């Protein structure tokens, strides 16, 4: 079993939902983001989503766009992000890590080189938001061959005709985007999400985590209760950008994790 499978299996045995936390690698500088990442598991994070900074993040809202810009200005590279994961793995070989971002930096590095390095570093999954299922041979299938899960996004506009293509080569879990639009731009409505999560879970046989528009422990509990867990990104990135000490950012993360685990 992969780390992702093991984590969801353990949570299922414990009757708990998964708390997935997103941070941007290198934001606002490599040292601070590494310190934040190291503290996430103790703060209750079950799966870490690590953003790969990119110059043209078309699916992200201002909060994560600015985080990526800060990281790039601080010198963060894809090689540096993989090195960050290697350092993390020296003391934590259990917490799943999913890289999230765009295809261009991977393509520029070379798919085979990137996947070999990612697997060696300890990456468990990829979310690449600008590669549709029609391009699975480009990265998804090679990633699976390296033992790396390829996690797909499903959205409110993913109808029954489109869903089979979206799920065909998906593994690990499905990320349900609870709103249409860019990250951090709106607040989701839980009443509208339940039937969609059930539809996707039934079609995929995979855990479904809900993300976008979740900013508080109360919202985390509400949405985690509907799915198999929830994802918080922009709220954590904004807290980190506030200049507060890392310990205070981790305290905020812990409050979100506790909300999720109450679901």
- In this predicted model, what pLDDT tens digit does every residue of 108-164 receive, in sequence order? 999 999 999 999 999 999 999 999 999 999 999 999 999 999 999 999 889 999 999
Residue 128, beta-bridge partner list: 101
Told to judge if 49 belongs to the known catalytic residues of this protein, a careful annotator would answer yes
CATH of domain 3-262: 3.20.20.70
| Rounded CA separation 259/246 (Å) | 20
Instruction: Look at residue 182 in the predicted model and tell me its pLDDT.
Output: 45
Instruction: Look at residue 188 in the predicted model and tell me its pLDDT.
Output: 53
Instruction: Please report, for the chain, the start and end positions of each structural domain, with discontinuous segments joined by +.
Output: 3-262
Question: Kind and range of the H or E element at 28?
Answer: none
* Annotated active-site residue in 14, 27, 29, 49: 49
| Rounded CA separation 73/231 (Å) | 26
Told to judge if 222 belongs to the known catalytic residues of this protein, a careful annotator would answer no
Tokens of 51: 């953003």
Q: Which residue, 242, 222, 247, is CA-closest to 232?
A: 222
Output the pTM of the full model: 0.95
**Residue pLDDT, tens place only, 167-189:** 999 999 999 998 654 444 445 56
CA angle 245, 249, 252 (to 5 degrees): 145
* Annotated active-site residue in 27, 60, 149, 196: 60
**Residue pLDDT, tens place only, 80-110:** 999 999 999 999 999 999 999 999 999 999 9
Task: Name the percent of the chain lying above pLDDT 90.
Answer: 89
- Ranking 27-31, 90-94, 117-121, 191-195 by mean pLDDT, the lowest is 191-195
């Amino acid at each position: 079993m992969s780390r992702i499978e093991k984590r969801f299996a353990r949570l299922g045995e414990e009757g708990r939902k998964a708390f997935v936390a997103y941070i941007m690698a290198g934001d606002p500088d490599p040292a601070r983001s590494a310190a934040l990442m190291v503290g996430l598991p103790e703060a209750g994070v079950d799966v870490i989503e690590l953003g790969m900074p990119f110059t043209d993040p078309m699916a992200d809202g201002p909060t994560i766009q600015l985080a990526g810009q800060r990281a790039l200005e601080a010198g963060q590279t894809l090689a540096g992000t993989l090195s960050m994961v290697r350092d993390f793995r020296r003391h934590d070989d259990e917490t799943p890590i999913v890289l999230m971002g765009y295809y261009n930096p991977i393509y520029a590095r070379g798919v085979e080189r990137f996947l070999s390095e990612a697997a060696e570093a300890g990456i468990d999954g990829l979310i690449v938001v600008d590669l549709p299922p029609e391009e699975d041979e480009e990265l998804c299938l090679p990633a699976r061959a390296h033992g790396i899960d390829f996690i797909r996004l499903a959205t409110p506009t993913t109808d029954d005709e489109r869903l089979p293509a979206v799920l065909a080569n998906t593994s690990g879990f499905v990320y349900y985007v609870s709103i249409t639009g860019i990250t951090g731009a709106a607040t989701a409505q839980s009443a509208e999400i339940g039937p969609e999560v059930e539809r996707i879970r039934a079609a995929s046989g995979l855990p479904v985590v809900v993300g976008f528009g979740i900013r508080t422990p109360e919202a985390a509990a509400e949405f985690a209760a509907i799915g198999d867990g929830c994802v918080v990104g922009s709220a954590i990135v904004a807290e980190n950008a506030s200049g507060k000490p890392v310990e205070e950012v981790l305290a905020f993360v812990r409050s979100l994790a506790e909300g999720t685990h109450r679901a």
